[in-house]
Amino acid sequence: MAQIINGRKIANEFCDQIKERVREVRTRGIFPTIALINVGDDPASRIYVGKKEKLAESVGIASTTYRLECKASEEEVSDLILELNKNEHVHAILLQSPLPKHLEFQKLVNLISPDKDVDGLTTLNQGKLFSGNPWVIPCTPLGILHLLRYIHENLAGMHAVVLGRSLIVGRPLAQLLLNSNCTVTMLHSYSRDLPTICRTADILISAVGRQSFIGGNCVKPGATVIDVGVNRVAESAKIVGDVIFDDVYAIAGAISPVPNGVGPMTVAYLMNNTLMLSSRSFLSCSSRSVG
């Protein structure tokens, strides 16, 4: 039976370290601050933003949430982002997805200053990651890598299969795994014979967003399985991943569950990226004033 990778516990330990580092930078006059932009009334988004506010407070990071109505225009959202870009007290900006249908997420994200782009989603920051010169790395892939490193001291030479190729999870994750010297295979909705390819994986990561998508027939005995999917069970408040847990638990070497797997790590890295951006901004201000 598999080792369960307790993302909640690992994230809590990581947050204790972040809290300590926040305390340190505050003594130097840096007050890490994140702006959360929530457009519309998607109930899941409200919950996610609430979790981010709560964790920020618990590690000593200041957060302000800007709630815009569902009918907010592109201009209203852009104006807010541009204003926050100019605000010296704000180090990190997060545009919560999904946005109402009339707004284009990537177009608006690209207005965020790359130096405040806390989830590394601007085209510039994505390009930097893909060219091997990362500046800000998306939080979910960072959290997944953290979980993998918790299980495997050295990832070099392992075959990682990533299901899903989104800009927020699959693609940046594949890049991080390549940087860790894994052999990486990416699968998507046009891939053929998924179970056969999945069974060759030492590390299997599913970021598809479909309940019961990965069963025991997709897993090599002893493999590490990371479930990124967040799927709401119809007519209930229950959340499940992409993986049929009981099935895969019996075969895998290690498995991260949903909930309490990748989710808490993503929010922890949001805090870590905020801290990093605040320290960088302080360094660049001091070097400007010295120069």
Span near ligand NAP by CB under 6 A; candidates 69-77, 152-160, 175-183, 206-214: 206-214
Q: How far is the CB of 257 from ligand NAP (least distance, A)?
A: 11
Site size toward ligand NAP (CB under 6 A) is: 23
Is the separation of the CB atoms in 46 and 18 below 8 Å? Answer: no
- Single out the residue of 230, 240, 268, 276 in contact with ligand NAP (rule: CB under 6 A): 230
- Beta strands of 116-246 (E only): which ranges? 159-163, 183-187, 203-206, 224-227, 231-232, 239-240
State how far the alpha carbon of 231 is from the alpha carbons of 20, 131, 210, 237, 240, in Å: 34, 32, 7, 10, 5
Asked if residue 8 binds ligand NAP (CB under 6 A), the reply is no
Catalytic residue among 96, 126, 175, 211: 96
- Single out the residue of 209, 212, 279, 280 in contact with ligand NAP (rule: CB under 6 A): 209
CA angle, residues 138, 275, 229, in degrees to nearest 5: 30
Span near ligand NAP by CB under 6 A; candidates 35-43, 65-73, 80-88, 261-269: 261-269
Catalytic residue among 117, 119, 202, 227: 119
> Would you say 100 or 279 has its CB closer to ligand NAP?
100
Q: How far is the CB of 228 from ligand NAP (least distance, A)?
A: 4
Enter the DSSP assignment of 207: -
Q: How far apart are CA 21 and CA 213, in angstroms?
A: 39
Which residues touch 261 (CB under 8 Å, ≥6 apart)? 5, 7, 147, 226, 227, 241
Q: How far is the CB of 241 from ligand NAP (least distance, A)?
A: 8
Binding mask 164-203 for ligand NAP (x = CB under 6 A): xxx-xxx----------------xxxxx------------
Question: Does 119 participate in catalysis according to the annotation?
Answer: yes
Binding mask 114-153 for ligand NAP (x = CB under 6 A): --------------------------x-------------
Is the Cα torsion angle 219, 222, 228, 229 positive or negative in sign?
positive
Question: Does 16 participate in catalysis according to the annotation?
Answer: no
- 177 closest CA partner among 203, 138, 196: 203
Regarding beta strands 231-232 and 224-227, do their DSSP bridges make them parallel or antiparallel, or are they unpaired?
A: unpaired
Residue indicated by tokens 């120069």: 291
> Would you say 163 or 218 has its CB closer to ligand NAP?
163
- Single out the residue of 175, 266, 274, 278 in contact with ligand NAP (rule: CB under 6 A): 266
Q: How far is the CB of 229 from ligand NAP (least distance, A)?
A: 4
Q: Is 227 exposed, middle or buried (0-12, 13-18, 19+ CB in 10 A)?
A: buried
Residue ranges binding ligand NAP (CB under 6 A): 140, 163-166, 168-170, 187-191, 207-209, 228-231, 262-263, 266
Residue positions annotated with a catalytic role: 52, 96, 119
